[in-house]
């Protein structure tokens, strides 16, 4: 049972354009959502997060949008840069024991072309 889904395994965009990565979830108990970025041969690194009490959080070029009614979140990168090329994981956490345990999606590989 995949509780967090990233249905697009890959995305290719031109440098300077917007990258939009999507994520869907099924568990309404999730109340905190995160995006991680992973380069080859490295561990994932935290990028941006959003609490369920918000619908938008912005940090520089990165903005995360949350639509609770649709159980959908998205990550926007504007403008995209070649260094943004990586695998992006969506993750969720919730009131399931408050352990901080994250449930991850399958990841989306972003390629930003110069």
**Which residues make up the interface to another protein (CB under 8 A)?**
4, 6, 9, 32, 34, 41-46, 49, 89, 91, 93, 97-107
- φ, ψ of residue 54 to 5 degrees: the values are -115, 165
d(CA 80, CA 84): 7
Look at strands 108-113 and 103-104 and give their pairing. unpaired
Least distance from C-beta 48 to another protein, angstroms? Answer: 9
Least distance from C-beta 14 to another protein, angstroms? Answer: 26
- φ, ψ of residue 40 to 5 degrees: the values are -55, 140
Least distance from C-beta 103 to another protein, angstroms? Answer: 7
Q: By C-beta, is 19 or 94 nearer to another protein?
A: 94
Residue among 25, 32, 19, 28 nearest 7 (CA)? 25
Q: By C-beta, is 69 or 98 nearer to another protein?
A: 98
Three-point CA angle 31, 35, 37, nearest 5°: 160
Least distance from C-beta 40 to another protein, angstroms? Answer: 10
Q: By C-beta, is 15 or 49 nearer to another protein?
A: 49
């Amino acid at each position: 049972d995949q509780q967090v889904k990233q249905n697009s395994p890959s995305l290719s965009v031109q440098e300077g354009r917007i990258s939009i990565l999507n994520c869907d979830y099924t568990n309404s108990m999730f109340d905190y959502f995160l995006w991680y970025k992973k380069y080859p041969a490295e561990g994932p690194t935290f990028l941006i997060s959003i609490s369920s009490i918000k619908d938008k959080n912005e940090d520089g070029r990165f903005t995360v949008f949350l639509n609770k009614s649709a159980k959908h979140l998205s990550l926007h990168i504007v403008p995209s840069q070649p260094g943004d090329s990586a695998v992006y994981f969506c993750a969720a956490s919730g009131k399931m024991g408050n352990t901080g345990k994250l449930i991850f999606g399958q990841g989306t590989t972003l390629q930003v072309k110069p």
